[in-house]
A and B are shown apart, each in its own frame.
Chain A
Amino acid sequence: MNSVGKSWLLLTGLIVFYIIYLLFGALVFSTIERPVEEQLRRDMDALKQEFLNQSCVSAASLENFLVRVLTANKYGVSALRNSSVTSNWDLASSMFFANTLVTTVGYGHTTPLSDTGKVFSIVYALIGVPFTMLVLTACVQRIMYPLVIAPVCLLQRSGLEPRPATVVHFLLLLVLVVLCFFLMPAAVFSAVEVSWSFLDGLYFSFISLCTIGLGDFVPGMQPRQKYRPLYQVAVMVYLFVGLMMMYLLLRTFHKMSDLHGLTSFLQLPRCEDSDMEEEREPIVHEDSRTANNMTEKAASKPLDPGSQPSYNTINKG
């Protein structure tokens, strides 16, 4: 069949393009980062050498010490003097950790150390990840009406055609989300966190809201952070709401591309509720729908026996 063959062709084309994209990214990252890494390595060697020259420490015992320090550091335990006060597993931090687990961001700044912790993480994630997805989808579908459908109706009533109306609305929503969930939090983070620049804050917001979560920047990890629990809870709320807005954007984009015929061209699954005509009607035929409503309302009352005053007023068939 032609459509089946076409879909397989599309798929292979997509996979090939994906591999090329990955290769391209690998090349660029390699060229940008490698020189810096070399430099840092040379600095490290020099530092070690300098330390060894100054003191009576042998290379072997220094290596030993460093390995132990690094192992501890990998699990979030710092050997530095001033970090012994705060724990990584007090209630707010544990909740933050659970949140990163459940939203699949997964920073990795703290990871479960014990075996029981790992087992519990597995079970918790297997239940929590689909659950969170369900909640996010439900929330997004709920706020879809006031944030997407109603404004699009408004735009259409002010004279735009359906298709440009959705495009305009999507662009407006995009600008709003970028402003409120990327630029503003980046400014806040660069102000609150001591060592972060604005770009670092933006990078952190982006990496977190896409649930990549590399973990090189994690808020609230500075040793002398004031109001740390409150700060972590605030970041959690920001992550959750931001994630919801990203889903909303994605869904709006999906509906928009449905309307423009993009998804059927790429033979992708359409947005689930787009095959329901009643959802389309508010966007496209708003006035006729209200007219239909009126007639339906008038006809909606079932005939009750007491409603007719006398026998002869009932029509004779």
Chain B
Amino acid sequence: VAAPDLLDPKSAAHNSKPRLSFSTKPVVLNTPEDECDTRTTVMRWKTVSAIFFLVVLYLIIGATVFKALEQPHESSQKLAILAQKLEFLAMHDCVNSSELEDLVKQVVSAVRAGVNPSGNSSNQTSLWDLSSSFFFAGTVITTIGFGNISPHTEGGRIFCIIYALLGIPLFGILLAGVGDQLGTIFGKGIARVEKMIKWKVSQTKIRVISTLLFILFGCLIFVALPVVIFQQIEGWSTLESIYFVVITLTTIGFGDFVAGEKESLNYLDYYKPGVWFWILVGLAYFAAVLSMIGDWFRVISKKTKEEVGEFRAHAAEWTANVSAEFKETRRRLSVDIYDKFQRAASIKRKLSSELGINASINQEMTPGKRTLSANLYEDREAYPSLSLNGSLYLNGLSPDYADRREIAVIENLK
């Protein structure tokens, strides 16, 4: 919002010249329609639809690339498993294909229910013991939703819906609070750094550099360190660990890789709670970074708009002032001319009354000469017209002609 005092011409008038009165806001920066919208963050329909089109394009590009990358791999996997099936059938004659189909179907649906039919079932840990359920509840609330465990009973599903309805806003509020605290700490740190730096570096530079450092530091703690840890403990490759970290921290959560779900490993007791804590703080951290960047963009664009607005206000003010000055000058000059004519006319009256000049001489003159002779000769009929309407239309001449002569007189006076 531009400073209102700059827009007030009364305060900008430094001299005692009589000001032309006009209203306090000569130029309104925004049209009234813009006031309904918010600031720079609202785009017009055209922009929004252009961006929407961009998103669709982005999706199509992604789709083609994924298709090109994955489809060959998928076909080879398909062929491999079919070959396996045929080999199995060939090796074991007493099994017919329909029985095998049946078994496979059952096995697959069991896996979908979360039960792993391979291996001995007695020493398998349940998927729904307390720590795993805790982990599942965490994935639901953070909206990651891995899906390696999911409720299969109707009651479980209904409870899941209600639980998420209450839990997601709760987690959102928590995230906002933690992000706010992190942002405040970071802001105070930046302020201290700004005070400490003795050189004359611009504020924006300091902010940008410290944000970059903050992001780097965060990436180190929340991305690089977990990647190394997962590599060691879960036995994934580097790429798979990075993939898991990114997919989890963006809350996508496919579930093809899940930390702490490998049955063959004996995890330490605090491994799973540690993973959950990492998810919470990592999410809060990246949310804080995003909101901070968003805040800066908003401040920068607001400042830019303010500056542009102030500049526009200054320019309009200057233009209005200049034209007002010009009009004022014209007015005063014309008032001067009128006064001078009046004085000249009164002198002429006196002179003519003293000298007794013949009024008939005036009729032979051209209108232009007539006008000029009004300075010297008396024309009694002209006075009423002059004093009646108070205008400068001398001797009842047409306004245009009078203007041109007036301008000529003014220029002569200059």
List, in ascending order, chain A residues with CB within 8 A of B17's CB: 317
Task: Check B138–A302 contact: CB distance below 8 A.
Answer: no
Answer yes or no: A54 CB below 8 A from chain B CBs. yes
The reply on B64 being an interface residue by CB < 8 A is yes
Contact with A along B248-277 (1 / 0, CB 8 A): 001111111000000000000000000000
Interface residues of A in 265-289 (CB under 8 A from B): 266-269, 272-273, 276, 278-279, 281-282
A202-235 to B contact mask, C-beta < 8 Å, 1/0: 1100110011111110000000000000000000
Q: Which of B138-158 contact A (CB under 8 A)?
A: 138-141, 143-147, 150-158
In the complex with contacts A18-B170, A37-B126, A51-B99, A199-B158 CB distance below 8 A = yes
Asked if A315 is at the interface of the complex by the 8 Å CB criterion, the answer is yes
Is B390 part of the contact surface with A, judged by Cβ < 8 Å? yes
Decide: B70 and A94 in contact? CB cutoff 8 A.
Answer: yes
B81 sits at the interface (CB 8 A): yes
Chain A, interface size category, equals: 35 or more
Min CB–CB distance A52 → chain B (angstroms): 10
In the complex with contacts A56-B94, A79-B81, A97-B66, A104-B143 CB distance below 8 A: yes
CA distance in complex: A317, B331 (Å): 11
With both chains docked as a complex, state the minimum distance between the C-beta of A213 and any C-beta of chain B, in angstroms: 5
**Which of B198-206, B209-217, B238-246 lies on the face that meets chain A?**
B238-246
Tell me, yes or no, whether A264 is within 8 Å of chain B by CB.
no
A 157-196 contacts with B by CB, 8 A: none
Cross-chain contact A138 with B43 (CB below 8 angstroms): yes
Contact B147 A214 (CB under 8 A): yes
A26 x B130 contact (CB < 8 A): yes
Report if A113-B77 is in contact (Cβ < 8 Å); known contacts: A18-B170, A79-B85, A317-B20: yes
**B233 interfacial by beta-carbon distance below 8 Å:** no
Q: Is the CB of A73 within 8 A of B111?
A: yes
A242 at the binding interface (Cβ < 8 Å): no
Picked from A26, A41, A78, A89, the residue with its CB within 8 Å of the CB of B71 is A89
Cβ-neighbour of A107 out of B70, B81, B254 (below 8 A): B254
B151 touches A32 (CB 8 A): yes
B36 touches A (CB below 8 Å) = yes
B226 CB contacts on chain A under 8 angstroms: none
- Whether A117 lies near B70 (C-beta < 8 A) is yes
In the complex, the answer to whether B110 meets A40 with C-beta atoms within 8 Å is yes
Interface: B28 (CB within 8 A): yes
| Complexed CA–CA distance, A104 and B253 (Å) | 8
Which one, A70, A125, A269, A312, contacts B111 given CB within 8 A? A70
Give the chain B neighbours of A98 by CB distance below 8 A.
59, 62-63, 66
Q: Please state if A300 and B133 are interface contacts (CB–CB under 8 Å).
A: no
Known: A104-B143, A314-B20. A139 touches B48 (CB 8 A): yes
In the assembled complex, the Cα of A252 lies from the Cα of B159 at a distance in Å of 26
User: In the complex, which residues of chain A have a beta carbon less than 8 angstroms from the beta carbon of B166?
Assistant: 21
A window 71-111: CB within 8 A of B: 72-81, 84, 87-92, 94-95, 97-102, 104-108, 111
Cβ A84 vs Cβ B143 within 8 A: no
Question: In the complex the two chains form, is A106's CB within 8 Å of B28's CB?
Answer: no
Q: Is the pair A113, B43 in contact by a Cβ cutoff of 8 Å?
A: no
B interface, size bucket: 35 or more
- Closest CB of chain B to A77's CB: distance in Å? 5
> Contact between B143 and A211 (Cβ–Cβ < 8 Å)?
yes
Please tell me if the beta carbons of A111 and B114 are within 8 angstroms of each other in the complex. Answer: no
- Given A120-B65, A214-B145: A84 and B78 interface contact (C-beta under 8 Å): yes
Distance from B321 Cβ to chain A, minimum over Cβ atoms (Å): 10
Within 8 A of A (CB), among B179-223: 180-181
- Minimum CB–CB distance for A127 against chain B, Å: 8
**Closest B residue to A50 using CB positions:** B103
Tell me if A25 is interfacial: C-beta within 8 Å of chain B.
yes
**Do B51 and A303 have beta carbons less than 8 Å apart?**
no
Binds A, one of B322-330, B354-362, B367-375, B376-384: B322-330
Chain B residues with Cβ below 8 Å from A276 are: 38-39
In the assembly, what is the distance between CA of A300 and CA of B170, in Å? 48
Shortest Cβ distance from A240 into B: residue: B55
Whether A80 contacts B104 in the complex (CB less than 8 A), given A27-B130, A213-B147, comes out as yes
Say if the beta carbon of B396 comes within 8 Å of chain A. no
Give the Cβ gap from B93 to chain A, nearest Cβ, in Å. 7
B25 touches A296 (CB 8 A): yes
Of the residues B28, B106, B176, B243, contact of A44 by C-beta under 8 Å: B106
* A25-B163 contact given A45-B121, A113-B73, A145-B37, CB 8 Å threshold: yes
Please, which residues of chain A bring their CB within 8 A of the CB of B55?
102, 131-132, 135
Q: Are A207 and B145 in contact (CB under 8 A)?
A: yes
Contacts of B114 in A (CB 8 A): 37
The smallest beta-carbon distance between B131 and chain A, in angstroms, is 8
B345 contacts partner chain A, Cβ-Cβ < 8 Å: no
Contact between chains at B176 and A79 (CB < 8 Å): no
Contact assessment for A303 and B178 in the assembled complex, using a CB-CB cutoff below 8 Å: no
When the two chains form their complex, are residues B38 and A51 in contact, meaning their CB atoms are under 8 A apart?
Answer: no
Q: Which residues of B have CB within 8 Å of A125?
A: 246-247, 250, 252
Residues of A within 8 A of B366 (CB): none
Q: Shortest distance in angstroms between B150's beta carbon and chain A's nearest beta carbon?
A: 4
Q: What 1/0 flags go to B310-354 for Cβ under 8 Å of A?
A: 000000100110011011001100100000000000000000000
With A296-B25, A297-B28, A308-B327 given, can you name 10 additional A-B contacts, CB distance below 8 Å? A38-B126, A61-B91, A70-B111, A77-B78, A97-B63, A138-B41, A214-B145, A267-B177, A293-B32, A315-B20
Task: Enumerate the 10 nearest inter-chain pairs by beta-carbon distance, A residue then B residue, closest first.
Answer: A317-B18, A25-B137, A212-B145, A106-B252, A98-B62, A215-B147, A95-B63, A108-B254, A26-B133, A299-B23
Taking Cβ atoms with an 8 Å cutoff, the residues of A that contact B are: 7-8, 10-11, 14-15, 17-18, 21-23, 25-30, 32-34, 36-38, 40-41, 43-45, 47-48, 51, 54-57, 61, 63, 65-70, 72-81, 84, 87-92, 94-95, 97-102, 104-108, 111-122, 124-126, 128-132, 134-135, 137-139, 141-142, 145, 149, 199-200, 202-203, 206-207, 210-216, 266-269, 272-273, 276, 278-279, 281-282, 293, 296-300, 302-305, 308, 310-312, 314-317
- Pairs A–B under 8 Å by Cβ, sample size 22: A22-B138, A26-B136, A33-B153, A37-B152, A40-B115, A45-B121, A48-B117, A54-B94, A55-B92, A56-B95, A65-B85, A69-B108, A107-B147, A117-B70, A118-B243, A135-B55, A138-B43, A138-B51, A211-B143, A211-B251, A267-B177, A316-B331
